[in-house]
Amino acid sequence: MSEKTVTVRSVESVGPDTVAITLESPDSFDAKPGQFVQLLLDVDGEEHARHYTISSARVEETFEITVGIDPEGTVGPTLAELERGDEVRVKGPFGRNHYEGEESVTLVVGGPGVGPAVGIAERVIQEGGDVAVVYRDDAHAHVDRLGAVADAGGSVFLVGGDLDPAVDAAVEAVGGQVFVYGFAEFLEDALDALDEAGADTDAAKIENFG
Ligand SMILES: Cc1cc2nc3c(=O)[nH]c(=O)nc-3n(C[C@H](O)[C@H](O)[C@H](O)COP(=O)(O)OP(=O)(O)OC[C@H]3O[C@@H](n4cnc5c(N)ncnc54)[C@H](O)[C@@H]3O)c2cc1C
């Protein structure tokens, strides 16, 4: 997709150092939950490109991204300061490791991987499927939406350290198509835990945040 300029609808704190940014969807924007966009931002007179994964269940009219903010990061603090009415440049959607209507879905995510986890989990519930979410972080974000997923019948595990017990329980409860989202170190831990639990990691849909 060529570059489009889109307007910010809202920026909301959804946890410690984490914001959900809702953007007006470009014309004919047909992103699937779990796909990502590239944002182009000017910071101190220099252009920077960063990728962010869609965290809304749907993208008609608006779509949402969830950004984990490192106060020392190059682009994150600028994104946290966006306000309704600001404009950002966006390209995409990109990525093949997205939700495609699978009936049973297990998501194992770390840090900002919570974004695609909530978006996909909500969509699976809307479609009448079964979903499990294992989410590891020092301090968890999107707890309200994950609580609603649990209330709707999803299995949700918020983890601070060892992934193994929660991944075991998620694979046992739901299994099915596995999705893994997060930074590289987390992906290694997640795939080890999934292998231990007997999940099909060869077929897993994985997105490496860097
Ligand atoms: C396909 C893809 C999808 C992504 N989706 C998201 C998303 O949905 N939400 C989101 O917040 N980010 C996502 N990212 C990461 C995002 O693009 C930026 O890298 C991140 O926001 C940091 O940018 P920055 O300019 O603030 O920090 P930079 O100055 O570029 O980088 C420094 C900071 O990035 C973080 N970081 C970089 N590498 C690692 C690592 N290996 N382990 C842990 N932390 C690391 C740390 O906070 C670090 O201090 C995605 C990346 C990719 C490639």
Q: How confident is the model at residue 205 (pLDDT cuts 50, 70, 90)?
A: very high
Domain boundary among 94, 121, 142: 94
Residue 109 and residue 25 share a domain: no
Contacts for 97-102: CB closer than 8 Å, 24+ residues apart: 97/34, 97/179, 97/205, 97/206, 97/207, 98/32, 98/33, 98/34, 98/35, 98/205, 99/32, 99/33, 99/34, 99/123, 99/124, 99/179, 100/32, 101/127, 102/129, 102/176, 102/177
Q: Report the 10 Å Cβ neighbour count for 173.
A: 15
Please give the pLDDT value at position 2.
Answer: 85
Considering the domain boundaries, does residue 155 fall inside one? yes
Pair 116, 184 in one domain: yes
Instruction: Please tell me the total count of domains within the chain.
Output: 2
| pLDDT surpassing 80 at residue 209 | yes
Of the residues 41, 75, 94, the one at which a domain ends: 94
Structural domain of 88: 4-94
Shortest-distance atom of ligand 1 to CA 186 = 42
Would the pLDDT of 9 be above 70? yes
Q: Given 51, 66, 94, which residue is the final one in a domain?
A: 94
Q: Are residues 113 and 198 in the same domain?
A: yes
Choice from 37, 70, 97 to test ligand 1 binding pocket (greatest atom count within 8 A of CB): 70
